[in-house]
Amino acid sequence: MRVQLEKPDDLGDMIVFLRSCDCSTRHVSHDMLDVRFPVEAEIQRSLELVAAGRCYGCAELVSEALAELGSPLCQDCRDSGRGKGFDRLRIEAYLRIWNTLHPAARASILDD
């Protein structure tokens, strides 16, 4: 997922912040990062969600009928083909924290 900063001078601080949130980052340009979650962390998170009866795509409860069929996704995620919606929610939450702590260095997700 691409994250862009309004103030590129704060890119280094943003990298440190996101890494403290268990994100991996890669420079894309002077004001943009590619942000992801490490595969190992994602596998563990997905397993924990599924074990709790929650969708690994968005963390909502999986309906009983779908759970009986062994589906790890809720109906909305199955219908839309989403499986990464929860990642976006997590990154948005981290950016809200960043933006609160650094109001002059706003960051936002670039839509694909």
| β-sheet bridge partners, residue 25 | 35
pTM: 0.66
Checking if the pLDDT of 83 tops 90, the result is no
CB 18 within 8 A of CB 37: no
**For residue range 25-73, what is the model confidence (pLDDT) as tens digits?**
999 999 999 998 877 777 888 888 888 999 887 888 898 888 888 888 8
